[in-house]
Every structure is written in structure tokens, then in C-alpha cells.
Amino acid sequence: MAEQEASGLQVLLSTLQSSCEKDVILNILNVLTDLLSLGTGRRIHYVISKGGSEALLQALAAAARTEPPDHSTLLPLLRLLARVGQRDRKFGLKVQKAEATDIILSLSRRNLGHHLHLIHCLWVLRVCASNVTTGTTLGINGAVELLFKVITPYSKRHVRTVRAAIEALAALLKSKSNSRRAVNRGYLGGLLRLYQDWHHNDVSNNYIYIRRGLLLCLKHITNIQLGRETFLGSRGMEILFTSIQDCLFCKNLDPIITTVTQILRKCYPKEPLPVATVRSSYSFPLPGNAKAEPPCEGSEGDYESNGEEEVEKDLDNENVESKEEDYDLETDVNKLRSRPVLDRPEEELGQYEAMCPELSHHFQELEPESEEEKSLEDRTESLLSTPSYFIPSATSVKRPNYRWRNQSVSEVGPDPGEMDLKVPQQSWTKKEKCRWDPIDEKRDTVEAAQDADSSEGEDPARSHVLTLRPLPEEAAWYKKMFYPECETSINPSPGERLQSSETVTNLLEKHQGDIPFHSPRFYMARAKRVKSIPDYKDMAFPDFWGHQPPPYSKPMLERKYGVQRNKVLDDVRRLIQPGDVIGRTVFDLDEPSHSSPGAPGCLTFFSKFESGNLRKAIQVREFEYDLIMNADVNSNQHHQWFYFEVRDMKLAVPYRFNIINCEKFNSQFNYGMQLVMYSVKEALQGRPRWLRAGHDICYYKNHYYCNTAAGGGMRGKCYYTLTFSIKFPHKDDVCYLAYHYPYTYSAMMSHLDVLEQNRNPKKVYWRQQTLCQTLGGNPCPLLTITAMPDSKKRDDLEQFYSRPYVFLVARVHPGESNASWVMKGTLEFLVSSDPIADLLRKCFIFKIVPMLNPDGVINGSHRCSLSGDDLNRQWLTPSSQLHPTVYHTKGLLYYLRSIGRAPLVFCDYHGHSQRKNVFLYGCSVKETLWQAGCIVDTAVITEDVGYRTLPKILDKVAPAFVMNSCSFLVEKSRESTARVVVWKEMGVLRSYTMESTYCGCSHGLYKGLQLGTQELEEMGSKFCLGLLILHLKSLPCSKKVMAQAALLLDLEEEITDRAQRSCSNSSLETDDEPPCAEEIDYNTDSCSDDEGNFSELDQEIQECLSWVEGETEDEGLTTGQTCSSKARRGLYISSQPAPNSTALPLRSTALGVYSGFESSPA
């Protein structure tokens, strides 16, 4: 049957090309018209595939040669050409091949006086011009001049013709040569005047299509530099900005507003970023002859990451040859499976034996005598003196026979008031209180002495003066908080530093110790030892005081319709109406003397504290500030993380903040994500917590660029603006704003101190060692956690030594603080007294590096270490000098592999800024080959699918985890990441990157909610639960372990208790976000103007069939005409056609009805 249909269509087309009989041609055209007017666009594509476009063009050439032209044949032919040509991607080339451009132009010129015929010619002209090459040819032959003659001067006569001509002109102007021609002939000013005429006279908004068509012409002309310059010289910015002020509150005019906004953003004069150089304010001298990251030629697509898994331009050209050889990594089975040779001499691996003390420990402490007393004596001894370490360095790696001395206790004494800490309930699988060992009197005495003078006996080289940032300076509030019993007025001496003062004492007394696993004293002691490039003298209050998760989860922010364009128009107003622009620098990290802090009515900013990042603040208007982030150390890019203090605010006033040097093309801030805020007054009133905050949030491309001088050779880089508004909860408060929940290096170190202090040493084997010193001189901790053996019996010790390893690392990217919160949840669960945690410790030995990039975290970087390198792109060949943490972590993994103890699971904790949910990236040969389009012979290529087991388990037990977001591809751009290197070089099947969203979840229990620290910590504990289930499902277990598991964990119930959530998780998920209430346009030069959508043209053509043959076109509308007569005549304001159908009704739609331009062709 299909063959018969095909042969029938081919006969029709062949006859159309060869016949000279008018009746035969008309009959064929009528049949084709009826055929293509019904059904979907598939019919048109079928006709195209059988040579329909060529046949129609040949018939057009034949019909045009007749004198005089027979319009009874030409009109249906032109209608068919317009309908078929718009869906034929090669139509422009076919027109040129048939030499039909001159024919179409000739017909247009000959019919200037007959508008019905001219409209048909203009439709075909528009379709031809959709091909830039054909459009250029038409422009050379005078099409632009012809169309401009048709549309000018302004007149409401022949409006159908004007509309068709404007839409054809907009298509022609996509060609840059046509745009230049239009500018050179002065048409741009004419278009502006014409737009003004239509705008001012279209009071009833009856001619939206004509106005928008003129705007599209302007949009395409301003794609060229000459067009933008002429547009600015013709006062185009002022004209368009003024024209839409009365349109903003009419939703039917959104197409006009959107197009105007795009033009204004594109034509806004480009400005260099207002900094002397885009390179970081901080620089660090690198060891040896190493040089910092070279400047890169920036472009939109060149910027890195989001978590591990975003394409990043490789700036390292030293090993070009080897990289070129591996270009087929994703399609070559041998390269995917290769096990590269060691990147260091094998004899160097011996040094890492000291990192595995658990394999040689004799457990003398298991003797029955007073183990608690012995442990206390050891602890006391270490509290009174700083433990010494043997830290790997570039020279020490040459001597493999030394041993590190274990750091079995914290360097800093515990706080007696903090010993009996409450454990967050969400961290445990079974919701029961953890019971810690009682604290004896002797321990309290020693620790109290330690806390009395925490700095006494410290190594001066490792400690420095550190002060707490001043508190709110409102005297009445200050008195109420700290001296409620005092009647006299107390002035807190504004700006006074508060180290070891009465105020700090009051603060520590006021701290109720109800923040789990946090001690301000521990934090202060650790923070004093931190080495930073700016040599921090101040401590941020939230890090000192602590964070308590709120008792609720906050929904994703609903995006207010029109918020982005309103923000953009506010930006344009600076140029158009500069009278209220202040332009005062109020904070400058580079030039503090240029700042004007404390000006009346002005906010005060500060960021020189651990993990802080704010480079410059400029007051734009009274309640609006432009903010600039600092680049990563020794770098000129990676702007994303921010964390700063702001004070001296007014109450209930919306302050607008614009971070103007963001780099990423996309952001979750456009899809419901909010930043976080911490209020000091709220904290001191018993609510110490980071909260999601901000409204009117959006993210878009701005007019700033990086010039060559400021970029140190880098040019062409464009920036994006993150804008948000905040109403602060208190007057004259001190608040902190951050990209995500901060988690500093000192917070991590003090957290480890508290965890060790509160573990049960009889059950938890804990060893904290120093993996190495960072470039900045800070210790990078390595943890070993497992269960103590039940006894010294041979079987128990054998079981202890033979436990498989799990290797966890986190925070290789400093700005991904969510990774640290997940790691926090993992650590707290591992040392807890939960019986499931106890069983898990008996199953595995955990090696954990909780922070791989301490220097980056300390100095407020987003992506890199002090070397200016992304450490997660250095795993193939790390440098012991430049990348010591990665070098020694990889060395330890090499060592474990060399003794036959490669980890069962390796997981690198990350954060992801452009996707929702929590998910894993793994490694699979087959899935990579399939994705690359290779034919996979399953008989030859075999693969253990065990890499999928853990993600499937997590999908069942972790509310935030989504299996369908996971990927197991090994891409060329990822070959130097931890996940891929550990998989290939260490042979670890279950090597993962775990990505946690900054935003929230789109599936499951937390659907529609933003993730807080409680949910992130829960993910860390659920990951541990997943490891236990993986062990029980995948590895042989002793009867004892299985019996314990049967008592503690009903696996069936645990796996199915989230059946409802899992069902929703299993629905297919795409990377694309759902559409917002308004179209999100990140670029200023976007061409997304719906011109590729020809459903409107379809409707025009279909309406044309209802016209009376030979009827003259409307000669303008008088006030006496009725709406019914307007509707009968088919004016422009048409209802939106069904999106999945091109079968359009043979009627006109009601006047004044407009429903947008969003329909798509069938």
C-alpha cells in the first residue's frame, strides 16, 4: 500500500513538472493543497523526501515564463512553496540551484501594485531568506531595498502586506552582509522611526506582530558591531527603553517586552570589569621553577565545572602528544581497560606503610587492666604538648623506610562543657540516643586546665593572634543580651576587637553547647593554627558560634514572572537615567584606602576571614550594590563561591545585590535555589543557623567583559550577573551571606577533635594522621576508622586485619562546601554507637581524607589549590611539590593495591551547581562504548556490572538520591579525575564521584525542597548504610555478621520502605530544567526569537484560502467598522494554533486575542 502511495505521489510530482496544460496543473496543485492542509507535518516531510520542493520550483519557473503571468496558477503554487519550503532544511540551496531567486524577486517587483499577489511572493521570499546564503544572494539583488520600500512610510493601509514584508525583511537581516547594507543605507534609523510610529498609533495593541517584526529587524541588525554603534548613535536605547515602560503590566505584550530586553542587553555598551586586574588579589610563590596557571583566552564555553562532571578547557599543554594519542579513549576498548604503569618509583611506596598502622597493631590495650585510665594518660600527655609528625615532602619521598608517628588524639584539649554532646538524630538509622562513655573527674581536670589558657604552650610558628569580628554595635541591644541585670548604660565601643575580652567570655558562657559536635573553644584553638595568604586576623561569627539546622526544609523559591527582565531594565536605567547612580566603592580588598566604609546610610562589608570571598563592593543606588568576587589564588577565573559579612542595615528594606563577575553559563539560581544567610542577632537569641534567603533571584549575562590589560593577556571573556534582594531580619545586625552553607578547614579540624573525644575507644578504632603538609603549610588529615577487634584471639585479629577497605575523599574543590556536610554526616555515623554503625565498622576499614584541598578552602577559592590548578584534573600525573595532597593520596592507594588490598569502594564527594538531587558518576567500559555509538560484542567484551549495585541501593535507602541521574561514562575530558584514575590504575570497580546538588530535589521525599545541612548529613549516613547492604549482598559474610544483620536490619523492609518514593525516582529524568514562568535568556545575543517557528505563516496561508479571489486587500480600518468585519477580514491578532497540528481552521480569529508565540511547527 505504501508503495502505491509513493508511486501515486511521484506520478503527481512528475506530471506537475512536465505538463503544460493549465487544468492538469491546477488539479494537481489542488490535490497537493488538500493533502498538505490535513494531518501533521509528517506529510509535508514525506512530500519533500519525494522531491516535492524541486517539482514545485520547476513548476514556478515554468509558470513565471508565461506572459502575462497566470496568477490562478501562480498563487496556489506560491502557497505550496511557502508551506513546503519552511520545513525543507535545504530549500535555500534548492532555490539557488533552480535559479529561482531572480524569479521570486521579479514577481515581487511586478506585483507591487497588487497586494494579494505580492503577499504570496513575500511569503516565499521569507522562506528563501531563512537560508543565510540564499538571503545574502537576495540582498545583493536588491531584496532589502525592495522590502523597505514596501514597509515605509507608516500607514495602516495594506497591513497584511506590511506584515509579510517586515517578516521577510527580518529573515533577510540574519545575513550580516544584508545587515551592513541596511545600516549603510540608513535603514536602521528608519526602522526605529517606523517602530515608534506603530507603537504610538497602536493604542489597542492590534498590530503586535508588526511591532515585533520591526524589533526582530533591529535585533538582527544589532548583531554586528556597526549595527550596535549606529543603534546607540540613533538613540535606540532611549527609544526602546521608553517605549516599553507602558507595556510592562500587559502580559499580552510579553513578546514585545522580551525582544526589546534582548536588544537593550546586547547593545548596552560593553565595559571592563571595574577592577585593575581580574587575577586574584592573592598570590602565592610556588616552589622551584613552577609557574602559576597561565592566562587563558576566555570564551563562554571554556569555563569549568560543576562538580567533577562539566567540560573544562584543558590549560595544560605540556603533554599534548600523549593527549592526542588518546583521542579515541571513549571508543578504544584497550585504552579503556589499560592499567598504566606507576607514576613514581615502586620503592617509594614503602613510605605509605606507616599510613596503615591498623595492619600491624597488636592491640595491647585489649588487656583487662584499666584501659580507660591508660587512654586518659595517653591523652593527657598529648594535650600538654604538640605531637610531632613526619610529613611527606618532595625530599622525604626518596627515603621509604621511615615511619610516621600516629596522631591518635587531638592536638587541642576538649571543652569540659562540651563533652556530653547530643548527636543529630538524622545521622542515625535507628533513632535512639547515643550513649558515650562517662567522663571521669581526672579528664575534666586536665581539659579544664587546657581550656583556661588555650594558647599556652602552643608553637608560636603555628599560632597567631585571631580576633572575633565585632558584634552588633547597638548599645541597647548589646546591654540586653549581655548585661540584663545592669541598669547603667553600656557602650560597646564600636569596632573594638574582642580577643580574650569580657565579651568573648560572656559569649562562651552564653553558648549553651546544644549544637551537636561543635565547640567554640575547639574552633578558636584550631583557627589560630591556620596558615593563610592574607594572614587572617578575624574570625567569622557563624564559624565560631556554630550552625543548628532549622526544624523545617524550605521549598524551592518560586520564580516571580518577569523578574529577570525587570532586573535587566533596572540595569539599563543606569545608562538611560544616571541621575540616581552613586557609584561609590565601599569595600575594596585590593585598595582598602579607596573604600568608603561607614558612610551614612551605607552598608559595611568585610571578607578577610577563613573561606571568605568578596573582592569589591560598589554602592550603585541607596539600596543596591554591585559585588565582585575574588578569583582563585594564582588564577584569573573560577568565580562562583562567595562568603562575606555585611552590617549597618536598615530594617524591612529590600537591599539588592548584584554579583557581576560570575562565569558559568547556567545556574540553579534560575530554578529555585537561594543563597544562605546567618544573622548574629538571631544566633544570640537562640537561633544559630544558616537559612536560605533572598527573593527576586535571577542569573543572566551582563555587559561586562575582561579586557586584555586587566586579564593579564586574557581577552574576550564575558560575565554573568547573579542578582538577589534581601530584607534583613534586624536593624543594625551583623549578617553573613554565602553561596552555600560554609564549612571551613578549622570547622573540619575541630569537628575531628570533638568526634575523637566522644568516640567509644573500646569499640571504635580511630587514628588521625597527617597525610602531608599542603603548599600553604597546613596539615591535611588522614583518618582510619574501623571496629576494634572483639579480643586478642587469633580469629578476631584475623578478621580485623582482613577487612576490606573503603576509601573516601572530599572537598577537592573548595567551593563545594556541600561535600563537606555530606562527609560530616558520614564521619558522625561511623563513630556513633548506633548498632548498624558498629556492624559497618566490623565489615570495613575506612580510609578517609575529609578535605583534599585545605588551602583552597582556607583562602576562599572555588576550584583550585594555591598552585592555580584544579586538583581533580591532576590525578594522572600529580606533582609532589605542587599537588601534595593528591600525590600522597594516590600513593597510598598505590600502596594498598601493591599489598593486594585495593579498596572495595572509592568515592570522591563533590557538589554540583547545575543539577538537582544527589547522584553518582561511575565507570563502565560497555556503557561508554554504547554511548560513543560503538558496536559492542557482548561475547568478547565482558564486564562485571557490580558498579551499579551501590547506586541502586542508595536509590532505595537515601531520600535525596536518584539513580536515573547517575552516569557511568568514561569521557576523555574526565580521564585525569580521581574517579577514572582509581578505576583504571588501581582496578577499583566501584570507583565513584558522588555529586550533591547545591539546590534541591526534583524527585522523591524531598521533591520541591531545597537541601539543608541536615539532609546533606543524612545523605552521608545513608551512604554508610548503602555500604553495609552492599557488603551483605556482594561479599561473603561470616554467620556471626549475618546473624547481627538479621537482627538489626530487615533488608527487605529497608529496601522497600521507600517504594513510593522509589517509584517516583524511577521516572525518566532529563538534564534540562522545566521551563520557568518566563523564558530564561542567559545571553544578550540570543537568536531565540521563534522565527524558526512557521505556525504563524501556516495560519496566514490557510486564512488566505478564505479570501475572495480578486478581492482587494483592506484599505485601512475606519472607526465605523465592527469587530465582526475585522474578524471576517482576518486581521493579525490570532489565537495560538494547536502545537501538534498544522491543520488550521479556514477562518479568522477574534480581534484582539493574543496568546503568545510559543507554538511549534508539527
Which residue numbers are catalytic? Answer: 995
Is 979 in contact with 923 (CB distance < 8 Å)? Answer: yes
Residue 271 forms beta bridges with which residues? Answer: 704
Q: Given the DSSP bridges, would you call strands 717-727 and 654-662 parallel, antiparallel or unpaired?
A: antiparallel
| φ, ψ (nearest 5 deg) of residue 350 | -60, -25
Cα–Cα dist 607/227, whole Å:
42
Number of H helices, E strands in the chain: 42, 21
Q: Is 853 helix (H, G, I), strand (E, B) or coil?
A: coil
CA atoms within 13 A on the CB side of 406: 18
Cα–Cα dist 995/974, whole Å:
15
DSSP state at residue 688? -
H runs (alpha helix) in 659-704: 680-684
Question: What residues contact 979, with CB distance under 8 A and at least 6 apart?
Answer: 308, 906, 908, 921, 922, 923, 991, 992, 993
Of the candidates 424, 418, 543, the residue with the CA atom closest to the CA atom of residue 1017:
424
Judge if the upstream peptide bond of residue 68 is cis by omega within 30 degrees of 0: yes
DSSP state at residue 344? S
State the DSSP H helix or E strand holding residue 193, giving kind and residue range, or none if neither.
helix 187-201
Nearest 5°: CA angle at 644, between 640 and 646? 135
Is 215 in contact with 253 (CB distance < 8 Å)? Answer: no
Cα–Cα dist 857/776, whole Å:
11
DSSP state at residue 632? P
H runs (alpha helix) in 453-519: 475-482, 502-510
Nearest 5°: CA angle at 1129, between 1128 and 1130? 90
Q: Is 918 helix (H, G, I), strand (E, B) or coil?
A: strand
Is 853 in contact with 889 (CB distance < 8 Å)? Answer: no
Is 665 in contact with 233 (CB distance < 8 Å)? Answer: no
Question: What residues contact 1012, with CB distance under 8 A and at least 6 apart?
Answer: 549, 550, 553, 554, 692, 741
Q: Which value, to the nearest 10 degrees, does the dihedral of the CA atoms of residues 376, 379, 381, 385 take?
A: -160
Cα–Cα dist 858/855, whole Å:
5
Q: What cell was used for 1119?
A: 472607526
Q: Which residues of 786-805 are buried (b: 16+ CB within 10 A; e: fewer)?
A: bbbbeeeeeeebebbeebeb
Cα–Cα dist 790/826, whole Å:
23
Residue that has been written with the C-alpha cell 567484551 in this structure: 941
Cα–Cα dist 1032/1029, whole Å:
5
Nearest 5°: CA angle at 408, between 402 and 414? 145
Q: Which value, to the nearest 10 degrees, does the dihedral of the CA atoms of residues 1111, 1112, 1113, 1118 take?
A: -110
Cα–Cα dist 436/627, whole Å:
47
What is the chain's length? 1162
Is 400 in contact with 349 (CB distance < 8 Å)? Answer: yes
Amino acid at position 428, single letter: W
